[in-house]
Structure 1
């Protein structure tokens, strides 16, 4: 359904350092810089961070979340710890199991240094 997801940043170097660290815990190689953007390429999709093309400040979505698949609760915890250590902010409840209409999920939430809400998600067996 999706070809890519892109969020904005006001500091490309800071964003690259943050996402290299966070996504590295999920096995994603370091991002590639292309002019005013950083691309993270995987077999399941592309995530990118960009300075706004219009020259205006980047702002985060209110109500928006970008979710990253984690292979295990331990990987989600490592993702969360790397994010906090790299300038992100822990938000929502601490990482842990949540129950919803689709079953049990292990979730960890952060705000990146630009305020974008991101999440590591692992679906637990039924």
Structure 2
């Protein structure tokens, strides 16, 4: 459904370290620096971008916004969460685990990146 997601950062070096670890834990390569000074992470279906705001003002997290990453297994969710915490992320909400939702059983983990952006890792469990 989405072509790309972008989050702002006030510290591009720290953001790259964080996202290289977090996205690396679920099978993606390092961010690629583009000429305009942001980093992109590419999958077969979408692009994730970490960028200083183009208007030159400070980056702030979206109030109520969450960026969700689809994971292939519970182990990927756990590795994603551990990599984030080890690289400056902060765990939020409930600890990683199973949630029963109208969409079925999901294994979820939430954290905030070093800039305060709220992130989620999600694995859809067999019913």
Q: TM-score, normalised by structure 1?
A: 0.98
The 1-side partners of 2:126 and 2:29 are apart by 28
Residue in 1 that maps onto 2:26 = 26
Residue in 1 that maps onto 2:3 = 3
SS of 1:109's equivalent in the other structure is: strand
The 1-side partners of 2:7 and 2:41 are apart by 12
The 1-side partners of 2:79 and 2:30 are apart by 16
Q: CA RMSD in A?
A: 0.7
Deviation at 1:36, TM superposition (A): 2.2
Dislocated runs of 4+, deviation >2 Å: none
Q: Which runs of 5+ in 2 are unaligned?
A: none
1:34-45 equivalence runs, <5 A = 34=34, 35-45=36-46
Deviations 1:33-92 (A, max 9, x none): 113211001102100010011110000001100000111111100100000000000001
SS of 2:78's equivalent in the other structure is: helix
Residue in 1 that maps onto 2:63 = 62
Deviation at 1:3, TM superposition (A): 1.0
Count of equivalent residues: 126
1:93-112 equivalence runs, <5 A = 93-112=94-113
1:67-78 equivalence runs, <5 A = 67-78=68-79
Q: Which runs of 5+ in 1 are unaligned?
A: none
Residue in 1 that maps onto 2:49 = 48
